Amino acid sequence: MSTYNSKIARPQGGAYLIIGEDANGLPCIIATGQAANDGAIVAAIGADALWADGSLYISCVDGAGTIWQKRADTWTELTA
């Protein structure tokens, strides 16, 4: 049984926070970095199969930060 649904966790050496899990036990995460598209996010934090849909990625780029959500195994930019 996973404990992801009971607390926020930061894996040792990880550059993300685990904030929950989906029905299949995949971790739902919040991650940050300089990636600014689907391919770059996957390269930065790992394969889509590792993370639950609904996970968030915050792109920290000078003058152009964006927020991305994993939807149906694709990192999709959220817009206002």
Q: What is the pLDDT of residues 54-67, one digit of tens each?
A: 999 999 988 889 99
Q: How far apart are CA 11 and CA 66, in angstroms?
A: 24
Give this prediction's pTM: 0.83
Separation between Cα atoms, residue 32 and residue 41, nearest integer Å: 9
* E strand intervals along the chain: 16-21, 27-33, 56-59, 66-71, 74-77
Mean pLDDT of 13-42: 90
69 and 75 Cβ atoms separated by less than 8 Å: yes
Do residues 33 and 44 touch, judged by C-beta distance below 8 A? yes
Indicate the average pLDDT of the chain: 87
